[in-house]
């Protein structure tokens, strides 16, 4: 391969890099050096590859480029949550979030610029969709937030967890998300355990089955928000194309294929999906497989006609599920004051570094 058809070198596998270098009469061990610089050392230019001869660096520079995502903006919440704005090579913009909890830090990363699904309660969905992120751009977010976590703790701890819950639908960018997970967990990358990574999806039936077939080791979380089609159609327009029966079949397949318990994420909206009847419907849905349920407070955004459920309704909802011996957690919002909470990422109210 000449490399001319590939602009971003991080789109290449180790075998691709090795083949390119061999064709161009470079020594075989250079491929390992290059790959290590790209992922483990996370360099941002070929000139940083200081143990590689200049002639080889010039060869790479003339055939490839880096599409690095770089933090250019940041904002910190009263609760310690940090929202980062990352500028991409084409001047697109995405946001990532660093969430503190008892000395531990979770990174929330984006998978797309904008989102094509248009959920009525989500600020990101109102942006529309521009493009998918590359595996390297997703990796960059995790790496940048990991570095920020190091700086916050002043220790080698770094990130405790990574969640694909930022801008975009991860399973609509599956191959790049999968590749980014591989590099985050690889010893040649960040070396993080796959058990510390969660992919959160609105529920793309075909890709849920694909994820099971690929035996992706990370955790899976489903953003459900309603266990009946009428209400889910109202909240999640994508459900009109792939109703709950289709999603249910895919989830059963996922559990049968992997044997893994997954998480149901459920945002409560005032007078829409927060009644005991809704809780009963959710409990019936969850009988089909072992799950845990995360109940989330809604983070209200401008221009929507849905509102946050009252605290007593949330508690009653949780209590009903617990009475059915279900594992239930109530997740408190973090970073709401800087629009960094779930569903609020839309590239606004963020200050320059």
Beta-bridge partner residues of 98: 82, 107
Q: Which helix (H) or strand (E) holds 207?
A: helix 205-213
Q: Three-state DSSP class for 311?
A: helix
Q: Three-state DSSP class for 251?
A: helix
Q: Is 41 exposed, middle or buried (0-12, 13-18, 19+ CB in 10 A)?
A: exposed
Among 26, 56, 95, 122, the one annotated catalytic: 95
| Cβ within 8 Å of residue 55, ≥6 positions away | none
Does 144 participate in catalysis according to the annotation? Answer: no
Give the closest residue to 274 by CA, choosing from 248, 240, 310, 247: 310
CA 99 to chain CA centroid, Å, is 14
Q: Could you tell me the sign of the dihedral formed by the alpha carbons of 10, 11, 12, 13, in that order? A: positive
Q: Three-state DSSP class for 211?
A: helix
Among 108, 115, 144, 342, the one annotated catalytic: 342
Does 95 participate in catalysis according to the annotation? Answer: yes
Beta-bridge partner residues of 105: 100
Report yes or no: 19 and 35 within 8 Å, Cβ to Cβ: no
Rg (CA), the chain: 21
Report yes or no: 317 and 278 within 8 Å, Cβ to Cβ: yes
Lookup: tokens for 102: 């008892």
- Give me the active site residues, please: 95, 342
């Amino acid at each position: 391969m000449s490399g001319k058809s590939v602009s971003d070198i991080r789109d290449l596998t180790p075998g691709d890099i090795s083949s390119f270098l061999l064709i161009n009469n470079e020594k075989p061990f250079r491929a390992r050096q290059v790959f290590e610089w790209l992922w483990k050392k996370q360099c941002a230019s070929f000139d940083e590859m200081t143990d590689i001869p200049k002639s080889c660096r010039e060869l790479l520079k003339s055939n490839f480029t880096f599409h690095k995502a770089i933090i250019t903006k940041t904002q910190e919440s009263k609760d310690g949550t940090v929202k980062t704005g990352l500028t991409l090579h084409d001047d697109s913009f995405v946001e990532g979030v660093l969430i503190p909890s008892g000395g531990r830090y979770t990174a929330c990363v984006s998978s797309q610029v904008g989102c094509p699904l248009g959920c009525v309660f989500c600020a990101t969905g109102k942006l529309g969709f521009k493009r998918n992120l590359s595996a390297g751009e997703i990796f960059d977010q995790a790496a940048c937030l990991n570095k920020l976590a190091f700086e916050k703790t002043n220790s080698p701890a770094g990130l405790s967890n990574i969640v694909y819950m930022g801008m975009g639908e991860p399973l609509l960018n599956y191959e790049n998300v999968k590749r980014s997970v591989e590099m985050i967990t690889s010893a040649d990358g960040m070396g993080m355990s796959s058990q510390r990574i969660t992919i959160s999806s609105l529920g793309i039936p075909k890709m849920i089955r694909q994820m099971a077939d690929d035996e992706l080791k990370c955790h899976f979380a489903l953003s459900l928000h309603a266990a009946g089609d009428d209400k889910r159609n109202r909240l999640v327009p994508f459900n009109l194309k792939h109703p709950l029966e289709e999603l249910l079949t895919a989830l059963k397949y996922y559990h049968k294929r992997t044997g893994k318990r997954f998480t149901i994420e459920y945002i409560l909206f005032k007078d829409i999906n927060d009644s005991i009847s809704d809780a009963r419907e959710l409990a019936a849905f969850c009988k089909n497989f072992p799950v845990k349920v995360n109940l989330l407070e809604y983070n209200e955004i401008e221009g929507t006609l849905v509102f946050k459920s009252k605290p007593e309704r949330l508690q009653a909802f949780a209590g009903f599920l617990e009475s059915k011996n279900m594992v239930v957690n109530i997740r408190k919002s973090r970073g709401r004051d800087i629009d960094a909470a779930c569903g609020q990422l839309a590239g606004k109210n963020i200050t320059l570094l």
